[in-house]
Amino acid sequence: MDATGTKGGAARRRRRDLIAGSAGVPAVRRQQARYAVLFVAPALLIYLVFMIYPFLNTIYLSFTNWDGITANKDWVGLSNYVRVFGEEAALKAFVNNIIWVILGTVAPVVLGLFEALLVWSGARGSLLFRTLFFLPFVLPLVVVGIVWQWIYHPLFGIVNTVLDSFGLDWLSRGWLADPHTALYAVLIAAVWGQTGFCFLILHASLQNVDMSTVEAAMIDGANWFQRARSIVIPQIAPQITMVTAVTLIGGFAVFDIIYVMTGGGPGNASQVLATYTVKVAFQQNEAGYGSSLAMLITILSLVSAVAFVRLRERQR
């Protein structure tokens, strides 16, 4: 083949065209990229100023003894983190947080799933139940806290009144005043408030379930529980994962409902990391130490959420 032969020449031309073409594509892409940066910039700026900067600043503050008021910020190394693991109140808050995360995640997801399956299976009055199950989610957790404070009120609360009327007065107590029950009493209120969210997401995801497989299972004689476990739940597993991850992360950062109902008391009986952080940082003026607690919450949330999602993906 000669250098200007038909075959070779055509190949070179094609290559030249391709090269010319590929030179045009980056130019367009560069322009598109410029626009993209322009459009993303405002949101990115807001994100940097309000999320990344405070986050990095909190990391820095967690290594100082800043009191949150004065300009003095002395570097104290890891001593704030060492203190977290040596302080009784912080450990109590940590243990309570773990209890909260476990029960406060499992209970609303399981209850929400059960309610969603119940409504989805077309039980009588499903519209009423759908409304009832979703209703708590509409209420802000602060309102939920105030309402449940009345429910638990030691003098005129409905819980003690009902117990008394059934002759179970020996069970009556100040539910939020007893260090053995305070955390669980608040947890029940939070589960009531959170279940609506799980129900909503899972109920929506159930609308995409392949009905032919469910019908086939019915024909094969599978009962309600078997159909739910083997046919329906596997199909909505990604949504269950998402709901669980969101609830899990929320569990580590829980603050408002505990703050309203018990303030972390009695003593430190219902203290969790977030309420303890606020107490330490803003009431005791130990912003440096408070920052280390805040970092601990962040690390725990991230690690547990990532671990959970990875685990689910591996199972799939």
Binding site for another protein (CB under 8 A): 67-70, 149, 152-155, 172-179, 262-263, 265-269, 282-285
Q: Which is nearer to another protein, 81 or 265 (CB)?
A: 265
Which residue in 300, 295, 313, 261 sits closest to 105, CA to CA? 300
Give me the least distance between CB of 292 and another protein, in Å please.
Answer: 18
Q: How far apart are CA 286 and CA 289, in angstroms?
A: 5
**Closest separation in Å from C-beta 209 to another protein:** 40
Burial 219-232 (b: 16+ CB within 10 A, else e): eeebeeeebbeebb
The CB-side HSE value for 265 (13 A sphere, CA atoms) comes to: 8
Q: Cα(14)–Cα(177) distance, rounded to whole angstroms?
A: 83
Taking the least distance from each CB to another protein, the nearer of 76 and 176 is 176
Q: Which residues contact 286 (CB under 8 A, 6 or more apart)?
A: 65, 67, 68, 280
Q: How far is the CB of 140 from another protein (least distance, A)?
A: 17
Comparing CB distances to another protein, the nearer of 24 and 267 is 267
Cβ proximity to another protein: between 139 and 178 the closer is 178
> Would you say 72 or 207 has its CB closer to another protein?
72
Least distance CB 53 / another protein (angstroms):
18
Instruction: Give the tokens for residue 115.
Output: 């309610």
198 and 108 in contact (C-beta within 8 Å)?
Answer: yes
Q: Which is nearer to another protein, 172 or 213 (CB)?
A: 172
List residues bridging with 237 in a β-sheet.
Answer: none
Task: Write down the least CB distance from residue 242 to another protein, Å.
Answer: 34
State the CB neighbour count (10 A cutoff) for residue 235. 15
